């Protein structure tokens, strides 16, 4: 498969291109005047000061196309994506609220079944929310809170030059019918194993093994790495042939897939093997796939060929860079010190 085709697929993938509007919304709600907000734009969850901990806040709305294609998975993934956002920052998910809009009871029932299964699978309760029982459309949105010790939080804006880029994914999964880019890894596994995968992120955070991390979400593995580099104002190189990949899965489909359990890390080289080993104990596969650098370009290499997929001097994924915003506002860059 030509590298050029992979680069073009990533750059034009809706999971990447639809995030360009994020910075326009973020610019309307500056957090610079709120000292209790330790992290917000560019992160998987906001972090708000609360004693020795941060309260983590995140929310996700499920795409209309997914609700129509498979309402059960729309409900299930509405929980999964929120749990992954808290886990990506080293946090423990605590509780969720939902907003359900419905016009068809059949679809609503399937959404609720999916949510109920996910609540049990991840052991995170839904404690309230709001229902629109007379809507003209069907939709599900979920918000979540979690907590993490201040000393342990993992941010996506702290990648460092010469860090290893580590990809961790659960290769034991499948693509559900009608969901071409959703790699489903959790429904057929035990609750214990699924929860262990999530809790592994807290272990990595408590041991301070990673400088930066994100969960592999709608932009796919490379797109998610791109968001981390954009937030960190860094660049990097990834060897496509080193990415853990299941047998028999199309390479482009795999690179673009949302991962049921998948994380990208920027970490000191001496910590890579421990991160990989911890996730292997939870049934996942991992590999060092590349290096972080200061070029502000994300490059892909494959079979001796190299191409730039994103140049962050001119390209935008979300347009959010906490490093840049903090430096402009205070004259001080964000350091790697989580305290």
pLDDT at 40: 84
- Structure tokens of 215? 């969960």
Which of 218, 216, 240 has the alpha carbon at shortest distance from 307? Answer: 240
* 3-class SS of residue 193: helix
With beta carbons less than 8 A apart as the criterion, state whether 83 and 93 touch.
Answer: yes
With a CB cutoff of 8 Å and minimum separation 6, the contacts of 74 are 62, 66, 67, 110, 111, 114, 140
Question: Is the pLDDT confidence value at 338 over 90?
Answer: no
CATH topology of domain 3-17+154-329: Phosphoribosyl-aminoimidazole Synthetase; Chain A, domain 2 (3.90.650)
CA 306 to chain centre: 26
Residues of CATH 3.30.1330.10 domain(s) within the chain?
Answer: 35-149
Count how many residues are written for the chain.
Answer: 339
Q: What is the mean pLDDT of the chain?
A: 92
User: Token match 């309402």: residue?
Assistant: 71
Question: Is the pLDDT confidence value at 5 over 50?
Answer: yes
> What average pLDDT score do residues 198-227 get?
97
- Tell me what percent of the chain is helix, strand and coil, each rounded to the nearest 5: 35, 30, 35
**Element (DSSP H or E) covering residue 140:** strand 139-149
φ, ψ for residue 59, nearest 5 deg: -150, 145
Q: How confident is the model at residue 239 (pLDDT cuts 50, 70, 90)?
A: very high
The model's pLDDT over 103-139, given as tens digits with 9 standing for 90+, comes to 888 899 999 999 999 999 999 999 999 999 889 999 9
Question: Is the pLDDT confidence value at 331 over 50?
Answer: no
What is the rounded distance in angstroms from the CA atom of residue 332 to the CA atom of residue 323? Answer: 9
Can you say whether the dihedral through the CA atoms of 98, 74, 316, 275 is positive or negative?
positive
Residues of CATH 3.90.650.10 domain(s) within the chain?
Answer: 3-17+154-329
Question: Is the pLDDT confidence value at 300 over 50?
Answer: yes
pLDDT at 333: 41
pLDDT at 323: 53
With beta carbons less than 8 A apart as the criterion, state whether 161 and 255 touch.
Answer: no
> What average pLDDT score do residues 44-66 get?
94
Question: Is the pLDDT confidence value at 87 over 50?
Answer: yes
- Residue 185 DSSP code: -
CATH number corresponding to 35-149: 3.30.1330.10
């Amino acid at each position: 498969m030509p590298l050029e085709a992979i680069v073009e697929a990533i750059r034009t993938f809706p999971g990447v291109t639809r995030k360009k509007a994020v910075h326009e919304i973020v610019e309307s709600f500056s957090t610079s005047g709120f000292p209790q907000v330790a992290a917000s734009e560019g992160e998987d969850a906001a972090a708000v000061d609360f004693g020795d901990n941060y309260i983590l806040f995140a929310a996700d709305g499920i795409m209309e196309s997914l609700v129509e294609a498979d309402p059960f998975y729309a409900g299930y993934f509405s929980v999964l994506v929120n749990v992954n956002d808290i886990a990506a920052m080293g946090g423990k998910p605590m509780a969720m609220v939902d907003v359900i809009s419905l016009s068809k009871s059949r679809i609503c029932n399937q959404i609720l079944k999916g949510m109920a299964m996910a609540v049990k699978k991840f052991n995170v309760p839904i404690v309230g929310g709001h229902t629109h029982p007379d809507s003209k459309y069907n939709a599900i949105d979920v918000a979540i809170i979690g907590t993490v010790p201040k000393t342990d939080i993992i941010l996506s804006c702290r990648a460092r030059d010469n860090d290893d880029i580590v990809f961790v994914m659960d290769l034991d999964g499948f693509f559900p019918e009608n969901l071409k880019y959703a790699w489903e890894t959790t429904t057929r596994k035990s609750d214990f194993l699924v929860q262990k995968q999530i809790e592994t992120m807290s272990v990595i955070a408590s041991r301070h093994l990673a400088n930066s991390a994100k969960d592999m979400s709608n932009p796919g593995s490379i797109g998610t790495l791109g968001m981390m580099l954009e937030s960190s104002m860094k660049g990097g190189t990834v060897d496509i042939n080193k990415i853990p990949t299941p047998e028999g899965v199309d390479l482009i489909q795999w690179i673009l897939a949302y991962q049921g359990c998948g994380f990208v890390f920027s970490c000191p080289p001496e910590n890579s093997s421990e991160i990989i080993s911890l996730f292997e104990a939870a049934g996942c596969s991992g590999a060092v796939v590349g290096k972080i650098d200061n070029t502000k370009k994300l490059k892909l290499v494959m079979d001796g060929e190299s191409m730039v997929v994103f140049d962050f001097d001119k390209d935008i994924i979300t347009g959010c860079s906490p490093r840049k915003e903090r430096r402009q506002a205070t004259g001080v860059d964000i350091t790697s010190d989580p305290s």
